[in-house]
Amino acid sequence: MSNTLVVRPAATDVLELLKPITWFPPMWAFGCGVVSSGEPLSQRWPLVIAGIILAGPMLCGMSQAVNDWYDRHVDAINEPNRPIPSGRIPGSWGFYIAVAWSVLSMMLAATLGPWVFVAAALGLVMAWAYSMPPVRLKQNGWFGNAACGLAYESLPWFTGAAVMSASIPDWRIIVVALLYGIGAHGIMTLNDFKAIDGDKKMGVNSLPVLLGAENAARLACVVMAVPQLVVVALLFAWDRPYYAIAVSALLVLQLGFMSHLLKAPRERAPWYNGTGVSSYVLGMLVSAFALSSIGGS
């Protein structure tokens, strides 16, 4: 009989690995999808709750576990207190958790309809491709940030609308969800500012590394602003002028924040993530209400 001691990670360490603080963006986008569908919530609360769990704790949590597993050697140098490099999640448990969360996510998605399953499967593939060699999209800021923007904003929005309608969402919902996912590319670029020095040392070609802080910040601002301008134009075209004006006002507010950011982008990127990004996500919700009022028109 073997006397080998099997060491299992504590639940608190698994929760830390799944990073609950990162769950908010996809959960918010899922909520925008729910609102944009225009469908009543009265008989759909169980589906909505299941969808929120899928978007946040499951799929987003899975992506965090995958990322930390494949970054464990880098984290051992830069962030040794994280669950995997610290040994609090020992051996291959990080990989096992990532695989288990992937399987459980797809099982949950399968109960919410075929279009939700398709969106979840695409998000899962993107999460693994983002971190896992040899693809490792995160090595390049152009591709990695695009994957994150779509996975954190567009796919959850699509999923929320699909849960409510039990079918593929209206084309206008898909277009707006894609636009906000594209804009999120800029948010992800600003998020990379905190790791410029480490990325340079490890050969990660984030946009701040490739373009320099000033140019990357300018690009991020353009990438965030242009899709919102398109959303405003579409809302006017769809005869939703008040919503278009509200999104415009939030964009003007962001432009003011951007002007402050660009004076010292490396130092002020975290500040912008707490100010300008808040206005961005509020614009998402306003756009969702605009779409809900269009209904079947």
Q: What is the CATH number of domain 9-169?
A: 1.10.357.140
Predicted local distance difference test score (pLDDT) of residue 231: 98
Predicted local distance difference test score (pLDDT) of residue 100: 97
Alpha-carbon distances, residue 17 vs 83, 84, 89, 166, 254 (angstroms): 6, 8, 9, 33, 32
Q: By three-state DSSP, how is residue 23 classified?
A: coil
- Is pLDDT at 2 greater than 50 in this prediction? no
Q: By three-state DSSP, how is residue 140 classified?
A: strand
Which residue from 116, 95, 130 is spatially nearest to 48, judged by alpha carbons? 116
Which residue from 183, 282, 172 is spatially nearest to 234, judged by alpha carbons? 172
Asked if 23 and 60 count as a contact pair (C-beta separation under 8 A), the reply is: yes
CATH 1.20.120 is held by the domain 171-297: yes
Q: Structure tokens of 274?
A: 């707490």
Predicted local distance difference test score (pLDDT) of residue 296: 46
- Is pLDDT at 176 greater than 90 in this prediction? yes
Domain ranges of the chain: 9-169, 171-297
Predicted local distance difference test score (pLDDT) of residue 6: 53
What is the rounded CA–CA span in Å between residue 83 and residue 74? 13
Which residue from 136, 112, 143 is spatially nearest to 210, judged by alpha carbons? 143
Residue 135 phi/psi, 5-degree rounding, is -70, -65
Tell if the pTM clears 0.85, that is, is over it: yes
Asked if 238 and 294 count as a contact pair (C-beta separation under 8 A), the reply is: yes
Half-sphere exposure (Cβ direction) of 199: Cα atoms closer than 13 Å: 21
Residue 138 phi/psi, 5-degree rounding, is -65, -15
Digit-coded pLDDT (tens) for 233-272: 999 999 999 999 999 999 999 999 999 999 999 899 989 9
Which residue from 132, 4, 94, 111 is spatially nearest to 53, judged by alpha carbons? 111
